[in-house]
Amino acid sequence: MIERPEKMTISDLKPGQSAVIKKVGGEGALRQHFLDMGVIPGVEVTLIKLAPMGDPMELRLHGYELTLRLADAEKIDVERIDAPSKPPAKKQRTKEAYHPGLGEMDKNGSRGAGTALPEGSLLTFALVGNQNSGKTTLFNQLTGARQHVGNFPGVTVDRKDGEIRGRSDTLITDLPGIYSMSPYSSEELVSRNFVLNEKPRAIINIVDATNIERNLYLTMQLLEMNIPVVVALNMMDEVTGNGGSIDINRMEAMLGVPVVAISAAKNEGVDELVRHAVHVAKYQEKPRRQDFCDSSDHGGAVHRCLHAVSHLIEDHAERVGIPVRFAASKLIEGDSLILNQLELDRNETELLEHIVVQLEKERGLDRSAAIADMRFSFIGKVCDECVIKPRESKEHLRSEKIDRILTGKYTAIPLFIAIMGVVFYLTFMVIGAWLQDLMATGIGWLTDAVDAALTAGHVNEAIHGLIIKGIFEGVGSVLSFLPIIVTMFFFLSLLEDSGYIARVAFVMDKLLRRIGLSGRSIVPMLIGFGCTVPAVMSTRTLPSERDRKMTILLTPFMSCTAKLPIYGFFANAFFPEISWLLMVLLYVLGIVTGILVALLFKRTLFSGEAVPFVMELPNYRMPSPRNVLQLLWEKARDFLQKAFSVILVATILVWFLQSFDFHLNLVQDSHSSILAAISGLLVPLFKPLGLGDWRIVTSLISGFMAKESVVSVLGVLFDAEGGVAAAISALSAASMLVFSLLYSPCVAAIASIKRELGRGWAAGVILWQCGIAWLAAFAVRLIGLLVGMG
């Protein structure tokens, strides 16, 4: 009997062991993603560690860290090796060399025959790069404050446009961070469509030089787009700081596009980058090279296949305006979107298939792996010739040390809880609260001053009421929460920018899988504590539709900062001694409800397969103060805009409706106002919750516009906190808190859910959240009555 040797897969490795990849299993987009991330036959991998709960694992390959679940690791066959091979020692360090300036590209070969754009044309740029390559940092350096944030048409992904400082003829668009131009996640599709359809004049490709092999993979695909490209080698400060260097001129010659070494964080080289970018855009200098396959590479099978397919589809690609070389490599990879767009006839489709099958046979790899391998072997050549790898970098060593604790077996979860605890404590009890007091005092002082002035001026009483009660107290009470909201975003952005959130995803993946999600869902969830709108947007990074839907539907259960004014208002009025405990309980209740709903979803609507968890773990980095400040300013601006639009209008409207009756006479007692009549219709629904007061109902309705306005409306309708305290019992206040926590998210959040998932889901969210909120609030009341409260 012949004994077959046991097949070995990555999941059989022990921490610290290395192996060479033999075969990559799996199929479809997922497998393409593996390949795009550099998991291809022949590559060495080392298992670094398993997550504290035993799954997923952290791998090192191509000099960077990647997460992988055990179940997926089983699909990748490997062969053990004793130790990762060391790169051959370089003979000499490259010396600082003169870098060709503008238009001097001819030195390294013939210049791309570009025709200059007419004077005065707008130079549009797309900023493309991997996640964590420093795109946001560079974008902020380039544009300063001159930028506007919007959405890509049809999708809710943040779209940031801005003009380069001092160059009013430029417009630069920050695309979502992507790893490849395969349509694996919606972000990748957005970026790809942007480049294909909006045809920017040039691409600024930002490359993390400390992780150059993986980053150049995207560059290779960008070069195929036949659009002028400038490569910005970012983080050069870290490379040189660790004794590495890169021969820029050589790299420029090999890639056929300008390469500029920069440090976005230190603002070094950025001016030179701008000069080159403007130059290639203006003179439309296309990449001089798109052809990276080599006829001597493994018998040239890939080379022949790529060229054959390029010729085969040339006319179709030109007709629909897709770059030929890009279309050819995507077709070979089996990209069905491109295949459909090209409208090949049957003969051509068959021919294509024959060519590709021949490739697979000659190369001994399947089609996607063959293309990925071709790209990585070219990158290998570039790196061999141009890059002197730094010694083990300080940053990486530091990251390893930090990770030993932050993702350590016994320390990871307690530390996560502790870190979140500290963040919430500092936000609510220390920094935020202190600033909030300051704000509240300031607003109070201003209100008194205006009040006094209005009284002195004998202003009409109705107008006086509107200004003081409607505007100052209503909007003012909301404004005083600005500091807490900004502080919260401050901490969230620190966690995100430093690279910690990726670790949280790694550590929590197994737990989140129990409720049917993946570790990546933790990011939107945490952002959800800030605001549901960006949380919903951030789900765009999730590669699976199913995970994305489920995450979107669950984020509203994470109590957002806009609900804080409500908690603060009722906690101070009814439970001043235990207000902090109450806050904690509410947050926990939100999370628990979310988990229960997730379990329900998992059993019913979303009973699909778990998607793989392939994610890069970047080095820890100090977040740049500039990025953080920029973000805080954006959040504060959003909030102020909201306060002075939606909330102001809602407050004035409520004031108006409660001041007049149907004959438009000023009412003495607001019980006979229009508002009382309208809200009165819903009162019976809220009676069982102990909230059968039309004023409470009104405030909840206005909360649908913006949660903050619940408090401002209560301020208008009741005289002061004492007013509410006299009108409802403590038990009713508890029901109110629970109801506010769980009921329908605000219009802005609903709108973003609608944009992501469509009308039906958005309506569903409103309905079931209100239903759940009602049931929970009712339960609180029942329990309260049973224990003799109320």
Residues that bind ligand GDP (CB under 6 A): 129, 131-137, 177, 234-235, 237-238, 263-265, 497, 621, 623-624, 627
H or E, element range at 318: helix 301-320
Which letter does DSSP use for residue 544 in this model? -
- Name the minimum Å distance from CB 630 to ligand GDP: 10
CB 41 within 8 A of CB 22: yes
Residue with tokens 């300063």, as numbered in its chain: 144
What residue 11 binds from ligand GDP, Mg ion, none (CB within 5 to 8 A, per partner kind)? none
Contact 659, 672 (CB under 8 A): no
Structure-block tokens of residue 504: 């949280």
Smallest distance from ligand GDP to CB 541, Å: 11
Sign of CA dihedral 10, 16, 21, 22: negative
- The residue with its CB nearest to Mg ion is 136
Instruction: Pick the closer one to ligand GDP by CB: 527 or 734.
Output: 527
Our CB check for ligand GDP shows the closer of 349 and 498 to be 498
Q: CA 192: distance to chain centroid?
A: 17
Q: 9 or 211: whose CB is closer to Mg ion?
A: 211
Rounded CA gap, 163 and 477, in Å? Answer: 37
| Nearest residue (CB) to Mg ion, 136 versus 368 | 136
Q: Tell me how far apart the alpha carbons of residues 622 and 613 are, in angstroms, rounded to a whole number.
A: 26
| Of the candidates 58, 52, 55, the residue with the CA atom closest to the CA atom of residue 15 | 58
Closest approach of Cβ 177 to ligand GDP, in Å? 5
In the complex, the smallest distance separating the C-beta of residue 543 from Mg ion, rounded to whole angstroms, is: 18
Residue 137 partner contact from ligand GDP, Mg ion, none using kind-dependent CB cut-offs of 5 to 8 Å: ligand GDP
CB 495, min distance to Mg ion, A: 14
Give yes or no for a cis peptide into 623 (omega within 30° of 0).
Answer: no
Give the number of C-alpha atoms closer than 13 A to the C-alpha of residue 124, restricted to the C-beta side.
11
CB of 273 to ligand GDP, least distance (A): 12
Q: Is 136 in the site for Mg ion (CB under 5 A)?
A: yes
Shortest CB 631 distance to Mg ion, Å: 10
**# of chain residues touching Mg ion (CB under 5 A):** 1
The angle subtended at Cα 488 by Cα 484 and Cα 493, nearest 5°, is: 150
Contact region with Mg ion (CB under 5 A), list: 63-71, 133-141, 500-508, 729-737: 133-141
> Minimum CB separation from ligand GDP for residue 69, in Å?
24
CB 104 within 8 A of CB 172: no
What is the DSSP-derived secondary structure letter of residue 414? H
Q: Which does 133 bind (CB under 5 to 8 A by kind): Mg ion, ligand GDP, none?
A: ligand GDP
- From the list Mg ion, ligand GDP, none, pick the one residue 497 interacts with, judged by a Cβ distance below 5 to 8 Å according to partner type: ligand GDP
Three-state DSSP class for residue 242: coil
| Least distance between Mg ion and beta carbon 676 (Å) | 49
238 binds, among ligand GDP, Mg ion, none (CB under 5 to 8 A by kind): ligand GDP
Instruction: State which residue, 215 or 329, has the beta carbon closest to ligand GDP.
Output: 215
Smallest gap from Cβ 157 to ligand GDP, in A, equals 13
Question: Comparing C-alpha atoms, which of 533, 507, 486 is closest to residue 419?
Answer: 507
Q: Which is nearer to Mg ion, 58 or 496 (CB)?
A: 496
- Nearest residue (CB) to ligand GDP, 286 versus 520: 520
Tell whether residue 290 is a contact of Mg ion (CB under 5 A): no
- Each residue 10-39 as x (binds Mg ion by CB under 5 A) or -, in order, gives ------------------------------
DSSP 8-state secondary structure symbol assigned to residue 128 = E
Give me the least distance between CB of 263 and ligand GDP, in Å please: 4
Region from 95-103, 132-140, 242-250, 596-604 binding Mg ion, contact rule CB under 5 A: 132-140
Nearer to ligand GDP by Cβ, of 541 and 744: the residue is: 541
User: 136 or 744: whose CB is closer to ligand GDP?
Assistant: 136
244: tokens are: 């590495």
Which residues does 246 contact at the CB level (< 8 Å), separation at least 6?
Answer: 94, 209, 212, 233, 236, 239, 261, 386, 387, 388
Choose among Mg ion, ligand GDP, none what residue 621 binds, the Cβ cut-off being 5 to 8 Å by kind.
Answer: ligand GDP
Residue 235 binds which entry of ligand GDP, Mg ion, none, CB below 5-8 Å type-dependent: ligand GDP
Closest CA to 781 of 730, 741, 732: 732
By a kind-dependent CB cut-off of 5 to 8 A, residue 132 interacts, out of ligand GDP, Mg ion, none, with ligand GDP
Alpha helices (runs of H) in 172-300, residue ranges in sequence order: 186-193, 212-223, 236-241, 248-255, 270-282
Residue 252 touches which member of Mg ion, ligand GDP, none, C-beta under 5-8 Å by kind: none
Rg of the chain on CA atoms, in Å: 30
Least CB distance to Mg ion at residue 729 (A): 48
Residue 132 or 670: the one with the smaller Cβ distance to ligand GDP is 132
Nearer to ligand GDP, 177 or 228 (CB): 177
Q: Phi first, then psi: give them for residue 19, nearest 5 degrees.
A: -160, 165
Q: Provide the strand spans (E) within 427-512.
A: none
- Using CA atoms, how far apart are residues 786 and 790, in angstroms rounded to an integer? 10
- Which pairing describes strands 76-81 and 158-162: parallel, antiparallel, or unpaired? unpaired
538 binds, among ligand GDP, Mg ion, none (CB under 5 to 8 A by kind): none
Contact 37, 179 (CB under 8 A): yes
* Cα–Cα dist 669/659, whole Å: 8
For Cα atoms 647, 653, 657, give the angle at the middle one, nearest 5 degrees.
Answer: 145
Give burial (CB, 10 Å; 0-12/13-18/19+) of 635: buried
Tell me which stretch binds Mg ion (CB under 5 A): 128-136, 140-148, 153-161, 518-526.
128-136
544 binds Mg ion (CB under 5 A): no
CA-CA distance, 57 to 43, in Å (whole number)?
Answer: 17
Residue 659 binding result from ligand GDP, Mg ion, none, given CB thresholds of 5 to 8 Å by partner type: none
Q: Closer CB to Mg ion, residue 136 or residue 245? A: 136
The CB-of-395 to Mg ion minimum distance in angstroms stands at: 18
d(CA 607, CA 628): 39
Nearer to ligand GDP, 32 or 215 (CB): 215
Cβ-based nearer residue to ligand GDP, 142 or 467: 142
Q: What's the min distance (Å) between Cβ of 685 and Mg ion?
A: 44
Q: Name the residues that contact Mg ion, by CB under 5 A.
A: 136
